Amino acid sequence: MSTADPILLTPGPLTTSARTRQAMMVDWGSWDDRFNQLTASLCEQLLAILNGGDSHHCVPLQGSGTFAVEAAIGTLVPRDGKVLVLINGAYGKRLAKICEVLGRSFSTFETAEDEPTTAADVDRLLHADPSLTHVALIHCETSTGILNPLAEIADVIARHGKRLIIDAMSSFGALPIDAQQVPFDALIAASGKCLEGVPGMGFVFARKDSLANAAGNSHSLAMDLFDQHTYLAKTGQWRFTPPTHVVAALHEALLQYHEEGGLPARHQRYADNCNVLLDEMAKLGLRSFLPAAIQAPIIVTFHAPKHPRYQFKEFYERVKAKGFILYPGKLTQVETFRVGCIGHVNQAQMHAAVAAVADVLREMEVFEL
């Protein structure tokens, strides 16, 4: 394994296949019919993953996933709307910050970083504040790997006649979500996560009627999803220069996604990766932060070793030198580090990664392994 090309055990950017990287070796004209067909095919395939072709539009957008989250809030929440933001990690807090910066009225409900929001919580909060129009939820909170109960929460929100916005950045493509079973106004994801493309493109699945009524809501020209969709539907083209190489890479990654067996197969591979990681790290005495019942097979947070010779930066650099890039912890109260289960990786590479961790902790004289 080359240390110049390490395996990324992170929540994105992540390790991609040679075929996906090769797809970026071609230059595309942004107005060319072939590129327009590529965009149309991409949106159609993305909608099919969540069974949303009849009910939702797929609106692609340049930028990272956060760009797409901001675009969804700014476009689909009217300026006189009010958002209930459900928080149990850093990305819920970021979503609340987006509402604040955009001038959208909002309230927050925060649970501990190892405690999912419950449908009962949401029911109580919606009863208590009739002025709420939208609820925003992080499906899989990447700061820990916690999985929030999307279907149950969505049902409660629908019964109250409110609208749901889902940040599914770390779950779309690997965890099942059916747009005909889970009611939502918007679901947001990106190219560089479970679909195993490269970063640079977000996309929003927006309910057709909600998007049709969103003209004039947006705070921004570039992030106006109503305008982006209208122009794309009329011309087949992006309004502004598209990330052509990112689109091509994602289209190729989707071909491999279907060859692998689609969502069930992708989920199973990630679950297998996660199980190897949890089992083998436990043998080293490294404890996961979350209980298994709420652990998504996307990224795992581990308690850092409690030893004076353990320093994350040295640990990170030594593991990197052995061919694996990990992620720092994102918790405020507990020292942790994170290991991703996603990307173009398999069980053998997860075994090798844990072996590298064991070697490094032995070299640092943190554990006698």
**138 beta partners:** 167
Task: Report whether 238 contacts 222 (CB < 8 A).
Answer: no
**Which residue's structure tokens are 């990681």?**
277
Domains and CATH numbers, the chain: 7-13+261-363 (3.90.1150.10), 18-258 (3.40.640.10)
Produce one character per residue of 345-366: b if its CB has 16 or more CB atoms within 10 Å, e if not: beeebbebbbebbbebbeebeb
Distance CA 50, CA 53 (A): 8
Residue-wise pLDDT tens digits, 323-335 = 999 998 877 678 9
Phi/psi for 302 (5° steps) reads -115, 140
pLDDT given for residue 332 in this prediction:
64
What is the sign of the dihedral through the CA atoms of 31, 34, 37 and 39?
Answer: negative
- Which residues of the chain register pLDDT less than 50? 1-3
231 burial (CB, 10 Å; 0-12 / 13-18 / 19+) is middle
pLDDT (tens digit per residue) in 91-137: 999 999 999 999 999 999 999 999 999 999 999 999 999 999 999 99
**Buried-state track 152-174, b at ≥16 Cβ within 10 A, e below 16:** bbbbbbeebebbbbbbbbbbbbb
Per-residue exposure over 309-333, b if at least 16 CB sit within 10 Å of its own CB, e if not: ebeeeebbebbeebbbbbbebbbee
Distances (CA, A) of 197 to 42, 139, 248, 265: 12, 20, 9, 17
pLDDT value at position 333?
Answer: 74
CA distance 51 to 320: 39
What is the Cα–Cα distance from 250 to 247, expressed in whole angstroms? 5
Which tokens is 68 given? 């797409």
pLDDT for position 368 = 59
Element (H, E) at 206: strand 201-207
The torsion angles phi and psi of 28, rounded to 5 degrees, stand at -120, 140
